[in-house]
Amino acid sequence: MVKTQRRPIPIATQIDVYFRDRWLCHLCHRPVILHLALKHAAQAVHRVLPKAPLAYWAGTWSRDGAPLLDELAASIDHVEPLAQGGADDISNYAAVCARCNARKSARRDAEYIEAARPWKVKGKHGEPAHWDGLSSLYVALVKEGGHRLSPTERRWCELLAARLARGSGRAV
């Protein structure tokens, strides 16, 4: 099998995919969370409660340091794996939770579902209508101030703020 070189997925494309897929994992249907929201929420809490023990953020998304990210961090999945000839474009991207992404690895969706039989979350009253992966929380925390941003975090904030200002923006 030939190893395909991955190129970074542009932030704007990732945002388009998350909103298109309603911030739900395409494999198990659990809501996914923008990792940067929890990073900046942890910073905000630490400014007010510096000694509070938190498990919101860990750079490695480890279970002990950030249990929500370990399970629910938003990622982009190649529906047809690159390693198996899948396209590296938005038509082959889908939102996926960290748990399903790690377990699926380079398998096709059907292979993963058959082998892992992921439990599909189904809401009693339907899917979330206004879930945004905490992206609006991230934008609000950053706009509130007091956060040092990397150039990448600044770009995420700019693009999310523009997208959220347009409304739900589900269609890509």
pLDDT at 75: 95
- Note the pTM of the prediction, 2 decimals: 0.86
CA separation for the pair 97, 105 (Å, rounded): 12
Tell me, what's the pLDDT at 107?
80
- 127 in a structural domain: no
* Residue 152 resides in a domain: yes
In a domain, 171, yes or no: no
- Asked if residue 125 belongs to a domain, the reply is no
Determine, yes or no, domain membership for 104: yes
Q: Which two tokens stand for residue 58?
A: 């860990």
Q: Is residue 6 part of a domain?
A: no
E strands along the chain, which residues? 74-78, 93-97
Q: Determine the pLDDT at residue 172.
A: 40
pLDDT at 83: 83
Q: What is the identity of the amino acid at 35?
A: H
In this structure, is residue 71 part of a structural domain? yes
Domain that holds residue 95: 11-119+132-165
Rounded distance between C-alpha atoms, residue 29 and residue 134, angstroms: 16
Distance (Å, whole) CA 133 – CA 138: 9
Q: How many domains, in total, are found in the chain?
A: 1
Is 80 contained in some domain? yes
Specify which residues 76 forms β-bridges with: 95
Phi, psi of 114 (to 5 degrees): -65, -40
Q: What is the mean pLDDT of each run of 10 residues along the chain (172 residues)?
A: 72 97 93 95 92 88 88 93 88 94 83 74 74 96 86 96 80 42
